[in-house]
Amino acid sequence: MDELRERFAADTDVVEVEAYLSSKGYDRRQIGEILSLLYTDIAPSPGWAGADGVRESSLRVQGPHERGRFTIEAWGYLLSLYASGVVTLNDFEQLVERALIHVDGRISLADLRALADDAGLDDGAMGGERPLIH
């Protein structure tokens, strides 16, 4: 984890980190776990701040009904939105639920970016390549 934090800035695209990990021989499951840890540890998660102003951090793992539905890139993107403070825990869970309900099959990074953009959480991330989600 220390090597990844030194090599990549906190705002590095998750796809770039995944490509690096693939080149090092990690499989998709291992990469997903590493990305989950990396993007959860980068910044404190948003949430209730106690009297001393310190935020509690938490680790969100996929439930059985979510495993296999999200691509590694998509899940890493969700975690990076949450870890960076762009979305609250409630927004995070709503994005997960919307993706599970509205996207058939595997949920890709493009699908999640479109959902986040529709919710006003990721303006302009998609540019012109926006998939149709019904």
CA atoms within 13 A on the CB side of 47: 14
pTM of the model as a whole: 0.51
> Cα torsion for 121, 133, 95, 97, to the nearest 10°?
170
pLDDT for the residue 3: 85
Low-confidence ranges of the chain (pLDDT < 50): 43-56, 124-130
pLDDT for the residue 10: 74
pLDDT for the residue 21: 87
Report DSSP state, residue 86. Answer: S
pLDDT for the residue 37: 76
pLDDT for the residue 89: 84
Identify whether the C-beta of residue 43 lies closer than 8 Å to the C-beta of residue 10.
yes
pLDDT for the residue 50: 42
pLDDT for the residue 13: 76
Q: How many helices (H) and strands (E) does the chain have?
A: 6, 0
pLDDT for the residue 49: 43
